[in-house]
Amino acid sequence: MSPSARPSRHRRYVQVLCSYSCNTGTLKRTPTVNLTDPVFRGYHYGRKKHDDDLEAMLERCRAAGVKSMIITGGSLHESKEALELARQHDFYATVGCHPTRSTQFDQFTGGPEAYLQALDELIAANLKGKGRVVAVGECGLDYDRTHFAPPDVQQRHFRSQLALAKKYHLPLFLHSRSAHADFVKILREEGFGENGGRNVGANGGVVHSFTGTVQEAIEYMDMGFHVGVNGCSLKTVENLTAVAAIRPDKIMFETDAPWCSLTSTHASHAHLNSLPPNLRSLYFPQATKPEAFVYGKPVKGRNEPTAIGGVAWVVHKLNEGVPFEKVTEKAWKNTVELFGLDELV
C-alpha cells in the first residue's frame, strides 16, 4: 500500500454485518451470518464459481479503514455462530432473534420462555473479552415479510427481547420495516420512549438500515436512539432527505454486505462521482466477474464492507461544508461509545 493510499487515522470504521439481508424480499437459502455467506467462499447462487476469498476480503477491509466488525445474530443458532466468528476474528457480535425468525420462539423445545432463556444464557456467557456480545438483537418488526411470522408473533417476541437489554444494560440492534407505529409503540410501552431506555436499565441502541421518513428519523433520535445508514438507506431522493436529517451525534454507518450495494441506479450515485480516486480504490476496488475471478480482487455483484467508506462519503456530501473526516470520525465515535468498544480507541 502506498503512503497516499494508507487510510487516515481519521477515516476509520466499525462495520456492521447483518446476519442476512434485511432488505430483500426473500430469506437466503443458507441463513447464516454474512461473513460465512457462501458468496465469500466462492459460491454464487449455489454454484462454485471461484476460490474462497474471505481472507482477501478482510484484508481489503483493513486497507479501507475497517477496524472491526459487529456480526449480528438473527436467531439463537446464528447468534452462536456470530459469537464464534467474532472470537475467531477478534470482532464483536449481537445476540437476538430477527422478527422474520420469531416463530422459532414458539417452535422451540420448551416454548418461548426456554428460547428467551437460551438467548439470556448466551449473553451471560459472552459478556467479556474477545468476540463478546455488544448488543441485543437484531430484533424488531418487519411487516414487509409477515409470511415468515405474523405481526402478533413478531410483536410478542420483540417485546420479550427488550427485557434482555434492560437486564444486561446492553444497547439494542434494531430492525424496523414498514412497521414504524407499532415499533415505537412497543419501545415506548417497555420504557424505551426516552433516553434510549436508560431510565429502565437499558443502554440505547441503533435502528439499523434506516429507510424511513424525516419524521421517523427525528422520532428515533428524540427517543434517544441512533440511526444506521447503508446503501439501502440512500436509494431514493426521499431517502437522501431523511438521511440528511440525522444529527451527527446519532448517525452510524454500515453496509449490510454482501447485500445493499450502492448502485448506479440509486440517488446516491450522483454524490459518489466526487469520491477522490485514492478513496475510490479503497472503498470500491476494481471487481471482476465471478467467472474471471482473480484472488485478491472483489467479485462483481457482491457488496463488501469496504463500501462503508462510500456510504460515509454520500452522507458527507449531504452535509455540505462538513469535512469528510469529521463525518467519519463522528460516526466512529458514536459506534465505539454506544457499543463500548473501548479497546479500539
Chain positions contacting Zn ion, by CB under 5 A: 22, 175, 209
Please tell me the distance from the alpha carbon of residue 185 to that of residue 182, in angstroms, as a whole number: 5
Is 52 or 182 the residue whose CB approaches Zn ion more closely? Answer: 182
Is 22 or 86 the residue whose CB approaches Zn ion more closely? Answer: 22
CB of 237 to Zn ion, least distance (A): 23
Is 251 or 275 the residue whose CB approaches Zn ion more closely? Answer: 251
CB of 6 to Zn ion, least distance (A): 33
Whether the ω angle into residue 258 lies within 30 degrees of 0, i.e. cis, is yes
CB of 102 to Zn ion, least distance (A): 13
Minimal CB distance residue for Zn ion: 22
CB of 234 to Zn ion, least distance (A): 16
CB of 295 to Zn ion, least distance (A): 31
For residues 138 and 18, the answer to whether their CB atoms sit within 8 Å is yes
Is 24 or 195 the residue whose CB approaches Zn ion more closely? Answer: 24
All three cell numbers of 55, joined, read 481472507
Please tell me the distance from the alpha carbon of residue 336 to that of residue 345, in angstroms, as a whole number: 8
For residue 193, how many other CB atoms are within 10 A of its CB?
Answer: 17
Is 138 or 329 the residue whose CB approaches Zn ion more closely? Answer: 138
C-alpha angle 137/139/144, rounded to 5°?
145
What single string gives the DSSP state of each residue in 97-166? --GGGTHHHHHSTTHHHHHHHHHHHHHHTTSSSTT-EEEEEEEEEEGGGTTTS-HHHHHHHHHHHHHHHH
Please tell me the distance from the alpha carbon of residue 318 to that of residue 314, in angstroms, as a whole number: 6
Is 100 or 306 the residue whose CB approaches Zn ion more closely? Answer: 100
Is 23 or 334 the residue whose CB approaches Zn ion more closely? Answer: 23
Please tell me the distance from the alpha carbon of residue 89 to that of residue 93, in angstroms, as a whole number: 11
CB of 175 to Zn ion, least distance (A): 3
CB of 91 to Zn ion, least distance (A): 18
User: Could you tell me the CA-to-CA distances from 221 to 90, 162, 196, 227 in Å, in that order?
Assistant: 30, 18, 9, 8
CB of 37 to Zn ion, least distance (A): 15
Is 141 or 282 the residue whose CB approaches Zn ion more closely? Answer: 141
All three cell numbers of 17, joined, read 454485518
Q: What residues contact 138, with CB distance under 8 A and at least 6 apart?
A: 18, 19, 22, 72, 73, 74, 94, 96, 98, 173, 174, 175, 208
